Amino acid sequence: MMNKRMKNRKKFSVVISVYKSDNPVFFDRALSSVTELQTVIPDDIVLVVDGPVSDELNEVIAKYEKKYNIFNVIRLEKNGGLGNALKIAVKNTKYELIARMDSDDISVSTRFEEQLKFFDMYPQIDIVGGNITEFIGEENNIVGSRIVPKSNEDIREYMKVRCAMNHVSVMYKKAAVQSAGGYQDWFCNEDYYLWIRMWLNGAVFANTGTTLVNVRVGEEMYKRRGGKEYFDSEKGLQNYMFKHGMINGKTYIVNIGKRVIVQKILPNKIRGWVFKTFARNREG
């Protein structure tokens, strides 16, 4: 394993949240992708069980706890949402470098190796992510990708318009996240809200330019990205950026206008096409 050949590498943690609606088969596959299938195995995995879960999910958790002594399982009595779960997870990590992993996605085998090398090459950065591919059903049924800007300058500029980091792909410095206030609840946008606060706090961003995670998607994804509640969440972020001087009035109006059309006016099928055509498969 490459894990044995990377001498003097930095130790790192992984944070994951799982809750009752997660699929145990997908969850098992996700955990295998960050442990036995990685060229560099994590030194610490903090798994927050966000409220009661099924016996099947508990069996998967028990399987990995038994196989790897790097798991720290934290069980919450009731579901408190992703932002709350990740805030608890980050607080309980052992190491300064932390990778984020979702409960049903699949990290490529060299993901952590690439990110650790990036931090070694560019010690000034606070967070590094990468591109993602998206699949439906079988893992080789790739239906899209999301390519994001690579340099700090391009990321900071792009962040004024859309989220420039793929949340499921990031590895960051604990201090940089906590000094910006850490994860906080913000409907469907806990990550973007955190990156905005890190942006305002002077954090240095980067993306590898390579694909780090294969993300499980479906038509339901586009339904979740529409409607009043999702629009209100996005509008709240625009208000926050404008209030704190991250964007000017012109950018604010354009951003809100686009979101009114995509999230409140377009039907799901057309919204799905818009996301695939304009929000995927291209940088910037």
Regarding whether 263 and 144 lie in a shared domain, the answer is: no
More confident residue, 133 or 223: 133
Regarding whether 147 and 213 lie in a shared domain, the answer is: yes
Regarding whether 32 and 43 lie in a shared domain, the answer is: yes
pLDDT at 263: 62
Regarding whether 146 and 229 lie in a shared domain, the answer is: no
Torsion sign over Cα 78, 82, 87, 93: positive
Question: CA–CA separation, 143 vs 202, rounded Å?
Answer: 35
Regarding whether 274 and 151 lie in a shared domain, the answer is: no
Q: Comparing C-alpha atoms, which of 118, 126, 85 is closest to residue 209? A: 118
Which of 217, 238, 263 is the endpoint of a domain? 217
Angle, helix 228-243 to helix 249-259, in steps of 10 degrees: 170
Regarding whether 174 and 275 lie in a shared domain, the answer is: no
| pLDDT at residue 274 greater than cutoff 90 | no
pLDDT at 223: 52
Please identify which residue in the block is written with the tokens 């805030």: 87
Please identify which residue in the block is written with the tokens 């999910």: 57
DSSP 229: H
pLDDT tens digits, 140-198: 999 889 999 999 999 999 999 999 999 999 999 999 999 999 999 888 899 999 999 99
Which of 172, 194, 217 is the endpoint of a domain? 217
Regarding whether 236 and 135 lie in a shared domain, the answer is: no
Question: CA–CA separation, 223 vs 66, rounded Å?
Answer: 38
Regarding whether 43 and 183 lie in a shared domain, the answer is: yes
Q: Provide long-range contacts, Cβ within 8 A and 24+ apart, for 175-179.
A: 175/96, 176/126, 176/127, 176/201, 176/203, 177/90, 177/98, 177/127, 178/90
Phi, psi of 205 (to 5 degrees): -105, 155
Regarding whether 93 and 198 lie in a shared domain, the answer is: yes
164 within 8 A of 244, measured Cβ to Cβ: no
pLDDT tens digits, 193-240: 999 999 999 999 999 999 999 999 876 555 555 567 778 999 999 999
Q: What domain count does the chain have? A: 2
Alpha helices, H only, 34-136: 55-67, 82-91, 111-121
pTM score of the predicted model: 0.90
117 within 8 A of 9, measured Cβ to Cβ: no
pLDDT at 268: 59
| pLDDT at residue 17 greater than cutoff 90 | yes
pLDDT at 264: 60
Which of 186, 217, 248 is the endpoint of a domain? 217
Regarding whether 181 and 111 lie in a shared domain, the answer is: yes
- In DSSP terms, which residues pair with 134 in a beta bridge? 144, 215
pLDDT tens digits, 56-70: 999 999 999 999 999
201 within 8 A of 179, measured Cβ to Cβ: yes
Regarding whether 249 and 182 lie in a shared domain, the answer is: no
pLDDT over 70 percentage in the chain:
87
pLDDT at 2: 43
Buried b (16+ CB within 10 A) or exposed e, 92-116: ebeeebbbbbbbbbbbbeebbbbbb
143 within 8 A of 135, measured Cβ to Cβ: yes
Regarding whether 103 and 15 lie in a shared domain, the answer is: yes
- Helices (H) and strands (E) counted in the chain, each on its own, are 12, 9
Is the backbone of residue 87 left (phi > 0), alpha (psi -120 to 50) or beta?
alpha
CATH of the domain at 109: 3.90.550.10
Domain that holds residue 41: 2-217
Q: What share of the chain is helix, strand, coil (3-state, %, to 5)?
A: 45, 20, 35
